[in-house]
């Protein structure tokens, strides 16, 4: 198949999933065309059968807000024609599903069909999509997609509730992880030693947006640190980094907290961690939690959104009420017991492979594409 993929190219789960999906599809023999304003951050520069088409936004002094959605629709239309795309798969509804619908309508006028698959990732439904400025167009664009997928059952239910969609059957296709990349056995102990100097390593990776509650990560760490030596590694950057750094200073643990900033290749870091701390106030799925599990790292998280579909409470991690930093600290301490850790680490890696391996999930997308192309 010849598949167009549009996503946000910068840091974020939806862009990571879309890019990994494109790479996996190309490895299975499909031709993949990424269409976005920047080179996706997880895309190596050259891969067979993978192409990148940059959307350039024509500017004019009149435009206080240059219309990216329209430039994207035109690029989708042009790429679909030039490369005879069979299908367009857009990740994150706003504005991608709307641009895809415009491109599809333009092509229809020219006697060409272009099935559109939209994957909902989370904040496109839970936050942005419910903002009054976007709600009607989000509902419209989702309903006009040929196929709609959501990354968790929770997100599917939330979409139906929020939009009252009667005419939008949603299929749940979960996010996935490459078990050969997120594999603890592949990386030695050197990085863990470097980061922790022999002490247990707690880790958090995100875009440090308010929804991630990075200050809670610091509070959990400070409570664990009060009982036993350990370090915390914070990976990523974003609006709440300063607040997290301040909290570490205020709680007297700044010397044991390392902020590494944004890092593209995170698999070796996960493999150097002992426990992953994930206290987000909302997550439709929690891709980084899955990557931690696959790397044999138990996850201590807030019981929100689709996280319980990923982390098995008491088996591969622990789920606590939102904001319960004391409970999360106690759960982290529990996993730092060596025999408990070994058991949970093995269960985490096995469960991630059994339920979320790339090959199985990509095959679900291939079936969905075939159905969409057949008009089924």
Instruction: State the residues that interact with ligand GMT by CB under 6 A.
Output: 12-15, 17, 92, 121-123, 151, 175, 207, 209, 211, 282-287
Considering the complex, state which of residue 14 and residue 316 has its C-beta at the smaller distance from ligand GMT: 14
DSSP alpha helices (H): ranges in the chain?
A: 13-27, 68-82, 93-109, 123-126, 132-144, 153-163, 190-196, 214-225, 241-250, 267-270, 287-294, 325-335, 338-356, 358-374
Please, what is the minimum distance in Å from the beta carbon of residue 322 to ligand GMT?
13
CA gap 63, 325 in Å, rounded: 47
Considering the complex, state which of residue 98 and residue 192 has its C-beta at the smaller distance from ligand GMT: 98
> Which tokens go with 374?
């057949």
Considering the complex, state which of residue 280 and residue 345 has its C-beta at the smaller distance from ligand GMT: 280
Please, what is the minimum distance in Å from the beta carbon of residue 151 to ligand GMT?
4
Alpha-carbon separation of residue 371 from 20, 278, 374 (angstroms): 22, 36, 5
- Kind of pairing, strands 257-261 and 231-235? parallel
Considering the complex, state which of residue 106 and residue 287 has its C-beta at the smaller distance from ligand GMT: 287
Query: Three-state DSSP class for 98?
Result: helix
Please, what is the minimum distance in Å from the beta carbon of residue 122 to ligand GMT?
2
Considering the complex, state which of residue 6 and residue 329 has its C-beta at the smaller distance from ligand GMT: 6
- Kind of pairing, strands 299-302 and 317-320? parallel
Question: Are 215 and 204 spatial neighbours (Cβ–Cβ below 8 Å)?
Answer: no
> Which tokens go with 151?
């990354």
Please, what is the minimum distance in Å from the beta carbon of residue 12 to ligand GMT?
3
Please, what is the minimum distance in Å from the beta carbon of residue 284 to ligand GMT?
4
Q: What is the DSSP string of 209-230?
A: -GGG-HHHHHHHHHHHHTTS--
Please, what is the minimum distance in Å from the beta carbon of residue 121 to ligand GMT?
4
Considering the complex, state which of residue 43 and residue 195 has its C-beta at the smaller distance from ligand GMT: 43
Which conformational region is residue 350 in: left (phi greater than 0), alpha (psi within -120 to 50 degrees), or beta? alpha
Please, what is the minimum distance in Å from the beta carbon of residue 317 to ligand GMT?
15
Considering the complex, state which of residue 233 and residue 307 has its C-beta at the smaller distance from ligand GMT: 307
| H/E run at residue 203 | strand 201-205
């Amino acid at each position: 198949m010849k598949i167009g993929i549009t996503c946000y190219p910068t840091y974020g789960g939806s862009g990571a999933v879309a890019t990994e999906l494109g790479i996996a599809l190309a490895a299975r023999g499909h031709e993949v065309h990424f269409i976005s304003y920047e080179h996706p951050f997880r895309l190596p520069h050259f891969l067979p059968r993978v192409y990148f088409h940059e959307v350039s936004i024509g500017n004019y002094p009149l435009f206080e807000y240059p219309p990216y959605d329209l430039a994207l629709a035109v690029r989708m239309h042009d790429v679909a024609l030039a490369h005879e795309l069979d299908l367009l798969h857009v990740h994150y509804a706003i504005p991608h599903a709307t641009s895809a619908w415009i491109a599809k309508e333009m092509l229809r006028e020219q006697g060409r069909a272009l099935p559109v698959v939209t994957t909902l990732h989370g904040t496109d439904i839970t936050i942005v999509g419910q903002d009054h400025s976007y709600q009607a167009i989000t509902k419209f664009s989702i309903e006009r997609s040929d196929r709609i997928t959501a990354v968790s059952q929770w997100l599917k239910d939330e979409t139906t509730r929020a939009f009252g969609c009667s005419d939008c059957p949603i299929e749940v296709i979960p996010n996935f992880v490459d078990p050969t990349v997120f594999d603890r056995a592949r990386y030695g102990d050197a990085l863990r030693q470097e980061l922790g100097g022999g002490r247990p390593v707690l880790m958090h990776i995100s875009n440090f947006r308010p929804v991630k509650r990075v200050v809670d990560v610091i509070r959990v760490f400070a409570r664990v640190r009060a009982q036993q030596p350990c370090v915390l590694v914070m990976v990523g950057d974003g609006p709440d980094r300063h607040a997290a750094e301040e909290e570490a200073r205020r709680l007297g643990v700044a010397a044991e907290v390392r902020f590494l900033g944004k890092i593209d290749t995170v698999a070796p870091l996960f493999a150097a961690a002992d426990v992953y701390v994930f206290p987000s106030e909302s997550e439709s799925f929690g891709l980084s939690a899955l990557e931690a599990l696959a790397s044999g790292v138990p996850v201590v998280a807030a019981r929100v959104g689709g996280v319980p579909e990923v982390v098995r409470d008491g088996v591969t991690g622990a789920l606590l009420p939102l904001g319960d930093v004391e409970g999360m600290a106690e759960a982290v301490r529990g996993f730092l017991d060596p025999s408990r850790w070994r058991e949970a680490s093995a269960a985490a890696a096995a469960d991630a492979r059994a339920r979320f391996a790339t090959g199985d999930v990509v095959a679900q997308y291939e079936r969905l594409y075939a159905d969409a192309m057949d008009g089924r």
